[in-house]
Structure 1
């Protein structure tokens, strides 16, 4: 019973933190604001989350996991190669941020923080491994990890400065996927062209309204949460 109560309160705290940082940005949300929104004392909040960094890290993890689940459910995702699925994942992140001011605050701040970028890159690597996306392909795992780190930082910088460069979400996903395939995994131009087309087909099959709803409700009762 105590553990269930503990998780219920964590769910409430995370949900309220997510709401507040969507409204105000990470830097403009304090532990006191989160405690007041959650109708608890700051000291009780800190018994669950002593530092805001742990809270924001859990928010990012839950956002990433929710996005990963949604990408895995796209209609065309299992009919294409793993590189195309990677493009769809990058597109989904960029598209949501470009079309939702609140999510943009979170995604932008993730992409300008080296610690958060490293965390995001690690989660992307884990997603690739858990889904066995590159099993059976003749690739160097160290090159793959290096490539993921590179494109995470590069795509993050481009996302943050997208208005300056006038990138669309798909153009950004194409850039990141092409860089990974060509520079690190040594794929041919033909393979890259086919992948970008397959990735486009995945994107066309995606219901972005469903993705958005999944994010809006990811801390609701009954949803699995990372904490």
Structure 2
């Protein structure tokens, strides 16, 4: 029972912090603000999460695992290449259609420290689904593709760049750096086209709501 209560308390803190970060921005929320919102002392909060970055890392792990649950459960018959391309397309569309989540993610990519946290949790997923390559090279490719791609994504309206094009370019940059040729990448991208529809995207969002340990009901519309 104590362990269950501790787990429940941890997730209550994560949910509260997520809401505050999404509404006010990561840099504008202090540990004392989270403690007040959770109706606990700051010392108790730091018992569970010694630093704000530890709390965010936990949050990103939970969100990333929830976002990837659709791929993990529904796309297991597809290759790692296909799954990463479909996943990127769905995630960027979700951010495009949900401004609060975009604001939250933009905060992360504007900070080198937070970007590193995002890359680390994504690396864990890439390893789990079998993306091949030297670990250091995968990390470099992911940093390069995501940093450049997301910078364009956040300026997409000014640049008049579509979400689909940005998603494709991120995937292409990532796999080119891992040594794939453009012809193979184009073939893989075409093989995922049937999944980039409203029907499959809605399945993804439904899975996200159903499996997420963080309450996304306000931030992501079904």
Q: What is the 5 A alignment of 1:95-110?
A: 95-110=93-108
Q: Give distance in 1, aligned partners of 2:207 and 2:102.
A: 15
User: TM-score of the superposition, structure 2-length normalised?
Assistant: 0.83
Q: CA deviation at 1:85?
A: 1.2
Aligned to 2:87: 89
Q: 1:39 to 1:140 in 2, by over 3 A?
A: closer
Structure 1 residues 73-105: Cα deviation after superposition (integer angstroms, max 9, x where no partner): 34xx34443222111222222122111122112
SS at match of 1:185: coil
Q: CA deviation at 1:140?
A: 5.3
Structure 1 stretches of 4+ with a deviation exceeding 6 A read none
Q: What is the number of equivalent residue pairs in this alignment?
A: 212
Please say if residues 143 and 185 of structure 1, whose CA atoms lie closer than 8 Å, have aligned partners that are also in contact: no
User: TM-score of the superposition, structure 1-length normalised?
Assistant: 0.82
Q: What is the 5 A alignment of 1:1-227?
A: 1-74=1-74, 77-134=75-132, 142-189=136-183, 191-204=184-197, 205-206=200-201, 207-214=203-210, 217-219=212-214
Please say if residues 14 and 55 of structure 1, whose CA atoms lie closer than 8 Å, have aligned partners that are also in contact: yes
Q: Give distance in 2, aligned partners of 1:140 and 1:10.
A: 35
5+ long unaligned stretches in structure 1: 221-227
Q: Give distance in 1, aligned partners of 2:134 and 2:53.
A: 34
Structure 1 residues 153-211: Cα deviation after superposition (integer angstroms, max 9, x where no partner): 2222222222222233321110011112234323242x122111223323333324314
Q: Give distance in 1, aligned partners of 2:143 and 2:130.
A: 18
Q: Give distance in 2, aligned partners of 1:8 and 1:184.
A: 41
5+ long unaligned stretches in structure 2: 216-222
Structure 1 residues 135-160: Cα deviation after superposition (integer angstroms, max 9, x where no partner): xxxx5555433222211222222222
Q: Give distance in 1, aligned partners of 2:5 and 2:174.
A: 44
Q: Give distance in 2, aligned partners of 1:119 and 1:94.
A: 18
Q: CA deviation at 1:47?
A: 2.3
Query: RMSD across aligned C-alpha pairs, in angstroms?
Result: 2.3
